[in-house]
Amino acid sequence: MRSFRRFAAIIAIAMLVSLIGGCGTGEQYSVEPQQVQWAEYIGDNDWPFLPKNIFTFDLYENGILLIESDGKYRVEIEGAHSPEQAVVLAGEYGKCYEVSFWSKTDKLRIARVNTDPRTLGEGSVIEYSADESVRYYSDKPGSDAFTSFMYVCREESEYLIIYTGEQQASLSIDERTMLQDSDIEDNWWIPSQYTGNIDGQGAYALGDYRWSSARVLAELYDPYAEKYPDYISKVYLGQDESKSFPMYGYIYEPEGYETTMFLTSGTHPTEETAYFALARFMQMVCDATADDILLYTLRHKVRFIVVPMINVWGVSQNHDGTAELPRSRIRYNISGGSLNQDFDDLSQQESRNVYSFFKQYAEDIDIAMDFHAADTSGKNGVTLYYNFINNTPNAVANYKTTNHMHHRFVELGYSPTNPNLSKIPGSYTKSSAYLEGRLWNEFKVPTITIEHVLHGLFPDAHSSESMSLAVEIFGNFIVQNALFFIANN
């Protein structure tokens, strides 16, 4: 943890250095490639999974103005000197780039085009629709701030125009290797056990998605706390906002643990898959034997601090037909507040309970992971959706896991094309309103939100098939981050 936080500080310094020594002023029509160096902040680079992915990259300046109107980008090739600056990244098919810079993000525009703007004459215009697959984040929207986004080049001829609105906006391009099937190593975890459906049906049912929060804990967590009293302790966190539902955390603490991970689920009650999958994964960790060396490693080297149910009220509604809301609409707590966006204000008791619990252990926590299950067909149609703080050393473990899981989707026949790089989403941090944003911004603990995306893949989200994959997705993110922190602590 300590060494990791030093990394974070070094990254910040490296960004400033690259700012000072970055792109020159906006000379119009300059087509000379400029070398932009990503500062060497990794040192000896002994990360377990990391390719030495520090690259220089050619950026091209041009007199390009990028204007957004009605969801359309209008790219104008400017003849006259413009104080603004845009850069063009000529992407290479299949490559993944992380672009980082300082910018006033309210001016930031990013467009993906299939015409090389450098070949166009003065006054030329390219019209292009806004492409939301190029997401970006900033720690301080609207002000000078560190900004970063991921970009996957998915056409043979593709150019990314980045308009920062700055006269001198230094950019760093970090090329991320996209793993191929052949690169998948043998330390990926595949659930060895049948994970069961959550319809409450059949001998192998893991549970029932209609269970109240208390019942989920009583059936899926408490028996393990009783079975392993020296390993698991149950902690009362306080009542929820309704003052009717208690909240609990579980601490899985092996003797001589080497890393601490903070895991949460149940923020969104309609995302049952997520909290059942996390419960199942924790059960498997508890029972792990040396035959399953990855889970066995976690069982003996990782302290897990788990809040399985954040929205205890929401999860407990409408199970007996008496609730005032149809279950499909229960994404909020009793106040109608979105707990997912309450971590700046901490206006709700559930958020305060989670925050206080985290804070007690914050110094020792290496990563926080929040599990969801996107129940809409949105999210740009991705089959795996995640947000994480990508400006941290463990980010590569997350890239790698995402890539791996993408290929697992393909292997299992879930992805319509093979492989479709566009299915791997961008990543970004969030504001402190979100749990992960708050924990990073205040405690500099890296965080990740992982969503098991259901629609378009599984006709029945509660099926064993869906549950198995959810357990595998969540499990691999936990395993890979655990291995990373064990190796680096």
DSSP string for 373-433: ---SS-GGG-SEEEEE--SSTTHHHHHHHHHHHHHHHHHTT-SSSTT-GGGS-------TT
Q: Given the complex with Zn ion, which of 284 and 450 has the nearer CB atom?
A: 450
Query: Closest distance between Zn ion and the C-beta of residue 373, in Å?
Result: 7
**Structure-token match 């300059």, residue found:** 30
What part of residues 78-117 is at the interface with Zn ion (CB under 5 A)?
none
Q: Compose the 315-354 pattern: x for residues touching Zn ion by CB under 5 A, - for all others.
A: ----------------------------------------
Residues in a beta bridge with 1: none
Q: Which DSSP category does 208 fall into?
A: B
Q: Given the complex with Zn ion, which of 211 and 371 has the nearer CB atom?
A: 371
Distance in angstroms (rounded) separating the CA atoms of residues 35 and 21: 10
Binding region for Zn ion (CB under 5 A) out of 120-128, 276-284, 367-375, 413-421: 367-375
Amino acid at 98: E
Distance in angstroms (rounded) separating the CA atoms of residues 133 and 145: 21
Examine residue 372 and tell whether it contacts Zn ion (CB under 5 A).
yes
SS3 84: coil
Q: Given the complex with Zn ion, which of 239 and 341 has the nearer CB atom?
A: 341
Residue 433: which region, alpha, beta or left (left: phi > 0; alpha: psi -120 to 50)?
alpha
By CB atoms closer than 10 A (0-12, 13-18, 19+), residue 215 is middle
Of 302, 275, 267, 268, the residue nearest 219 (C-alpha): 275
What part of residues 267-296 is at the interface with Zn ion (CB under 5 A)?
268, 271
Distance in angstroms (rounded) separating the CA atoms of residues 423 and 380: 8
Q: Given the complex with Zn ion, which of 449 and 481 has the nearer CB atom?
A: 449
Q: Given the complex with Zn ion, which of 247 and 374 has the nearer CB atom?
A: 374
Q: Given the complex with Zn ion, which of 188 and 371 has the nearer CB atom?
A: 371
- How many residues sit in the footprint of Zn ion (CB under 5 A)? 3
Binding region for Zn ion (CB under 5 A) out of 63-71, 128-136, 265-273, 400-408: 265-273
Binding region for Zn ion (CB under 5 A) out of 25-33, 253-261, 264-272, 312-320: 264-272
Tokens of 300: 């003996």
Q: What is the dihedral of CA 329, 330, 333, 339, to 10 degrees?
A: -80
Distance in angstroms (rounded) separating the CA atoms of residues 162 and 26: 13
Q: Given the complex with Zn ion, which of 61 and 271 has the nearer CB atom?
A: 271
Binding region for Zn ion (CB under 5 A) out of 16-24, 95-103, 168-176, 260-268: 260-268
Query: Closest distance between Zn ion and the C-beta of residue 463, in Å?
Result: 19
Binding region for Zn ion (CB under 5 A) out of 16-24, 126-134, 266-274, 441-449: 266-274
Binding region for Zn ion (CB under 5 A) out of 114-122, 173-181, 261-269, 435-443: 261-269
Q: Compose the 213-252 pattern: x for residues touching Zn ion by CB under 5 A, - for all others.
A: ----------------------------------------
Name the residue whose CB lies closest to Zn ion: 372
Query: Closest distance between Zn ion and the C-beta of residue 331, in Å?
Result: 8
Amino acid at 411: E
Query: Closest distance between Zn ion and the C-beta of residue 138, in Å?
Result: 22
Query: Closest distance between Zn ion and the C-beta of residue 327, in Å?
Result: 15
Examine residue 452 and tell whether it contacts Zn ion (CB under 5 A).
no
DSSP string for 129-185: E--TTS-EEESSTTSEEEEEEEEE--SSS-EEEEE-S-SS--EEEEEEPPP-GGG--
Distance in angstroms (rounded) separating the CA atoms of residues 442 and 40: 26
Query: Closest distance between Zn ion and the C-beta of residue 340, in Å?
Result: 6
Interacting residue ranges for Zn ion, rule: CB under 5 A: 268, 271, 372
